[in-house]
Amino acid sequence: MKSTQYFASFAILALALSANAFAKDNHSGTFTLSDTVRVGSKDLAPGQYKAEWSGPADALKVEIVKNGKTVATVDGKIKNLQQPAPYDAVTVKELDNNTKAIDEIDFSKRTDALLLAGE
């Protein structure tokens, strides 16, 4: 009888741990840049990047990561979309000095987007 209880407890614990391991990470997303753009004070070359963020939704610390290394850090906030984005999208704005800066990042099939602080 005790071995059955131990087995049941172990099975429940294993199930709970595995569910956490496969849970979707809601504080990061990947995106692709096709042109050089500015994030904070850094210029990012075209390529694949990952945005990772932490903090309250209206005062995020956003790190832009490439190949496992943080290449830029900027403040931002979460924008709630009315429906999930159909694909990944990066919206840029042109700055006074004719450079482009990331304004918003939408992530495929998610209803949260990142708004990045400008200079």
- Report the Cα 26 to chain-centroid distance in Å: 7
81-116 residue pLDDT tens: 999 999 999 999 998 888 999 999 999 999 999 999
Q: In the chain, what percentage of residues exceed pLDDT 90?
A: 71
Q: What is the pTM of this model?
A: 0.76
Q: Identify whether 85 is part of a domain.
A: yes
* Maximum alpha-carbon separation in the chain: 75
Instruction: Establish if 21 belongs to a structural domain.
Output: no
36-67 pLDDT, tens digit per residue, is: 999 999 999 999 999 999 999 999 999 999 99
Predicted pLDDT of residue 96: 87
In a domain, 15, yes or no: no
Instruction: Tell me what percent of the residues of the chain surpass a pLDDT of 70.
Output: 77
Amino acid, res. 4: T
Q: How many domains does the chain have?
A: 1
Q: What is the pLDDT of residue 26?
A: 80
* Residues 114 and 76 sit within 8 Å (Cβ to Cβ): yes
Neighbours of 8 (CB within 10 A): 10
Distance of CA 61 to the CA centre of its chain: 11
Angle at 75 between CA 71 and CA 81, to 5 degrees: 105
Choose the weakest-confidence range: 7-11, 29-33, 71-75.
7-11
Helices H / strands E in the chain, number of each? 1, 9
Which structural domain, as residue segments, surrounds residue 108? 26-116
Contact assessment for residue 7 and residue 13, using Cβ atoms and an 8 Å cutoff: no
Confidence at residue 25, expressed as pLDDT on a 0 to 100 scale: 58
